[in-house]
Structure 1
């Protein structure tokens, strides 16, 4: 390592302001090391802020080579690397693809955060130092060697607190006379970061948490609260289109943090998708977030990372390494001041329990479809409040399955209609932008009414609800594969500690619709199945929980957690047979009861065909 540079190299370096500033910072960080003082061989890992890292590479190369164009060593390796940069242009491999070596000379590895450095390299390193951004003294020194006007310490300190681009520009500016020192102390203006989470409607389940973390971050910035006391990890679970990605973006804006957005799919698709590629991509995302001193790291598709409790076959080694590395990176990242991790998934039950435990993604929020009032507020927001939420209820109350993404798409279409006619968005524009609706034939409406009344009668027979509301649709939306033709609403009692007969009654309620169709029409439609959340899906899952988790089947046995009954759960043939028997038995019981109530079933269905909605109570 070269302590002193010859005149030519020093002159060349001093003319490059960012290189000179980082040379000063590197020397300051390394001056206490044996490698700097005695030129001892060894591995040096330098942690540098992301906006300075490429300037640090130029400066480190000058220190290591003395400014020579080529520097030869016994093992023919370069003296300075940035973690993740290609080592050999022909190989195209990153630094972490190579075995850590013990050099006969010195080598410097630059990284934006320790989390991005492979564990073996951390262990092998002789020195790990944090290289701070240039100081006020470095700014004064740079201006002196450039022959520019001298500045006092308060101004130099104000300049040193600026982002790299501004710091470099002001340091190289010929004259700083008239520069507003107070203006430098103000936050640097950025592009509009809206929307903030507080600006957005919806997200009711997360509101309290967001308000608390916003106050905690403010207290942390003022030094009143250690980062360890701030909630830093949250898992968002919900169906597609419920605004999980927008939540992370708006949260970052609310806190004044950067957003680092990635997904497990992006990690898996890195390079050739080998284990090393996957781990390197994952480490790079975490390193990017922790280097920013204030970032929200969004990890989408988190369920794809795997679950060690369900690992089978040849992929167990791969998935085990991926989950282990993710846990390690998450733990270290959440300890880094200013880093918040948001995981997002459609399937929370597929995620390893260790990821969701306290100290990692400990806050769990389920984002369901918005309720009636929320739908109107979301649409009003996306049409820039040119229409009130109250006015929009006449539209949104009929969009019961609409996601926030659907409502945003509707708003874009309505604004396009308004632009074409060169006006402000009106309620007519919104109605004109609704998807085309196709009237349902009366025979289909009649079958839907029979189906829903079947659910209602089985609910009333269970004794678990006092008031039941039914509503059916007269139209279907063109092009939508899954639609809600009708719905039964009721408030169920005795949910705190259900017994076996309560669970079996729930299965009969779920099977009531398709059983009613068979009783009245002599056959069944596909309306009870076909998608997750359907009647058959819910009945089957509940039966598996009853047998394999709750110990309420033939045997007093626990085989799987109740929330793990999903596509990745592989039941034994014995368990499948018992579940089939339960479903068949309860379906027969449901048909028998509805056959006895056939007259009432047909009468109520006929009334529902006419009115399209109905309330049934105990009286």
Structure 2
């Protein structure tokens, strides 16, 4: 170690305030150790604040080489090493390859935490030293050698307490006259911390998986399980606005990992968007994630990567290369301990099946619209619990199609309303900014009730459900489809392997609403169709799956996967004809059964008109208002 620097090296070092400050800090910490005093060969392990670690490296090289840094043809001769920050070399398992040896010279290892240092290196180190950030005296000395205006001790102490980049900037500033001491001495605001998943409401269906991966990561950190036992390849599936990006961010926080966010669109937009640019941007994202000690690589808009099975010929070369490279990078990344890859999509069926297979993004987490209680809890969360979730239910129970993103927007508007009137946030502020509620005519409510009871009676007749709850609305949000005026909920019996009889019964349940309208009123409304997810949409898709995927139609054949039956699916004419026949046959059977039950249908519908909600329990009977 070179304790004394020649004039040229000292001049060069002192012209760089960050390097000079850390040279002072290193000298102060190492002075008094046998390694420093005796210039003895061996290993010095230094723990440095992460914000200063690269400046410490530059200073350490000056100490070790006298400023005459040169190339080293192997790591055994390099005098300074940095641990845990962008590893210089990885093994096949992705951990940093540090070979413990007895050096013939002095060597310094720098790390931001002792936890990042392998136990073998900790035991081999001759001395372990904590390097404190530069002090006020170091700031004063740095300004003196820089030849700028001197500062007094109180100001230097205030400067030394600032974040690293502020210390460096203020140290290098020519004059500090007029600098407001109050600005430097006031407490530094802690950065806003984004929440963990445990702190967020909602995501009810995903909670069991979240708890499982938390335990897996904890076990991995304790070396109880290998990284290969962790669910580390995940696909988030859900409609827009359901909080997939927030889920990935909060999961990273929950696990104590860094988040590396990107999207297929960002890769495609890199530079000129040529194939080489796209592949380079993709590789950079993966490299960024795998270089960290723990990271969640979040890839949004994953469906934009495409599916080789449906690519047009003129796009197949580009798309094939992109998907092939993505598969290679994903496989490699998931082998690196501490790297989790999460993709997000609204359209799972548009992603190449090789990406979703076991060993890649194998775990599929469905992020749906929040349930009744979850909606209230999400809104209360955005109000920082200033309004209780139980008090918000009267509002959120009427917003059944609202997304978490919409709830956040609603919360901002309500808080703005309270600020405008210069008052404390109240329920009235929330009600004031809600979309207009339009009362439904009694004739429409009656038809909706008949429609929902039709579904309920067919569900009971199917033998697939024992308890059914029904609720209808008196008012609708302006612009909301009338198809959402009623809601029927029942839990299907556990069917591991449904038969053709079971699937046809489900089709009859879906057709029960429109059939009931025809039985009672002699005509049908648009309530069974018109939107994706409607009764007719679900019945039609199930019929196509039945004959084209499950092989339960006239012909024993497989034409497509069940997830391919979507808005882009174009069936063959004979398949369309068979589906039309199934729907017509099941509709006739549904109408025939409901005609026999017309009196029962009309009585239950009348009860629902009065009470607006109904519970049908096969074992108890029918109750109104959800009470026995």
- What is the deviation of 1:437? 0.6
Alignment of 1:79-228 (within 5 A): 137=108, 158-159=130-131, 174=141, 191-218=191-218, 226-228=226-228
Distance 2:229 2:460 in 1: 49
Contact in 2 for aligned 1:237/1:366 (Cα 8 Å): yes
Specify whether residues 463 and 9 from structure 1 end up closer, same or farther in structure 2 by C-alpha distance, changes over 3 A only: same
Specify whether residues 303 and 363 from structure 1 end up closer, same or farther in structure 2 by C-alpha distance, changes over 3 A only: same
- What is the deviation of 1:600? 3.8
Partner SS for 1:365: strand
- What is the deviation of 1:485? 0.7
Distance 1:256 1:174 in 2: 39
Could you tell me which residue of structure 2 aligns to residue 144 of structure 1?
A: none
Distance 2:540 2:283 in 1: 40
Distance 1:170 1:407 in 2: 53
Distance 2:513 2:358 in 1: 42
Could you tell me which residue of structure 2 aligns to residue 369 of structure 1?
A: 369
Specify whether residues 525 and 173 from structure 1 end up closer, same or farther in structure 2 by C-alpha distance, changes over 3 A only: farther
Structure 1, residues 339-394: CA drift from partner, whole Å, max 9, x if none? 22221122323333322233322322112222232222222211111122233333
Specify whether residues 383 and 482 from structure 1 end up closer, same or farther in structure 2 by C-alpha distance, changes over 3 A only: farther
Contact in 2 for aligned 1:217/1:230 (Cα 8 Å): yes
Distance 1:280 1:381 in 2: 40
Partner SS for 2:484: coil
Specify whether residues 52 and 483 from structure 1 end up closer, same or farther in structure 2 by C-alpha distance, changes over 3 A only: farther
**1:606 equivalent in alignment to 2:610:** no
Structure 1, residues 470-489: CA drift from partner, whole Å, max 9, x if none? 21111111234576110122
Further displaced range: 7-16 or 395-404:
7-16
Structure 1 residue runs without a partner (length 5+): 1-6, 22-48, 60-65, 68-110, 116-128, 140-152
Could you tell me which residue of structure 2 aligns to residue 359 of structure 1?
A: 359
Partner SS for 1:484: helix
Partner SS for 2:552: coil
Contact in 2 for aligned 1:310/1:568 (Cα 8 Å): no
Further displaced range: 360-369 or 202-211:
202-211
Distance 2:551 2:543 in 1: 11
**1:287 equivalent in alignment to 2:287:** yes
**1:394 equivalent in alignment to 2:391:** no
Contact in 2 for aligned 1:445/1:474 (Cα 8 Å): yes
Structure 1, residues 378-420: CA drift from partner, whole Å, max 9, x if none? 2221111112223333333333333222322222222222223
Contact in 1 for aligned 2:369/2:403 (Cα 8 Å): yes
Distance 2:228 2:269 in 1: 34
Contact in 1 for aligned 2:236/2:343 (Cα 8 Å): yes
Could you tell me which residue of structure 2 aligns to residue 339 of structure 1?
A: 339
Distance 2:349 2:421 in 1: 48
Partner SS for 1:324: helix
Partner SS for 1:547: helix
Distance 1:314 1:565 in 2: 25
Distance 2:262 2:415 in 1: 31
Contact in 2 for aligned 1:233/1:362 (Cα 8 Å): yes
- What is the deviation of 1:232? 2.1
Distance 2:130 2:107 in 1: 8
Partner SS for 2:488: strand
Alignment of 1:528-567 (within 5 A): 528-567=528-567
Distance 2:217 2:14 in 1: 40
Could you tell me which residue of structure 2 aligns to residue 405 of structure 1?
A: 405
Q: CA RMSD in A?
A: 4.3
Could you tell me which residue of structure 2 aligns to residue 501 of structure 1?
A: 501
Normalization by structure 1: what TM-score?
0.69
Specify whether residues 603 and 228 from structure 1 end up closer, same or farther in structure 2 by C-alpha distance, changes over 3 A only: closer
Specify whether residues 317 and 519 from structure 1 end up closer, same or farther in structure 2 by C-alpha distance, changes over 3 A only: farther
Partner SS for 1:299: strand
Distance 1:14 1:138 in 2: 23
Contact in 2 for aligned 1:528/1:534 (Cα 8 Å): yes
Structure 1, residues 293-335: CA drift from partner, whole Å, max 9, x if none? 3322211122222223444443333322221111111122223
Distance 2:385 2:310 in 1: 48
Alignment of 1:400-479 (within 5 A): 400-479=400-479
- What is the deviation of 1:225? 5.8
Normalization by structure 2: what TM-score?
0.68
Contact in 2 for aligned 1:113/1:287 (Cα 8 Å): no
Contact in 1 for aligned 2:235/2:343 (Cα 8 Å): yes
Could you tell me which residue of structure 2 aligns to residue 70 of structure 1?
A: none
Structure 1, residues 150-193: CA drift from partner, whole Å, max 9, x if none? xxx9999544xx9xxx79x99998479999xxx99xxx996232
Contact in 2 for aligned 1:476/1:483 (Cα 8 Å): no
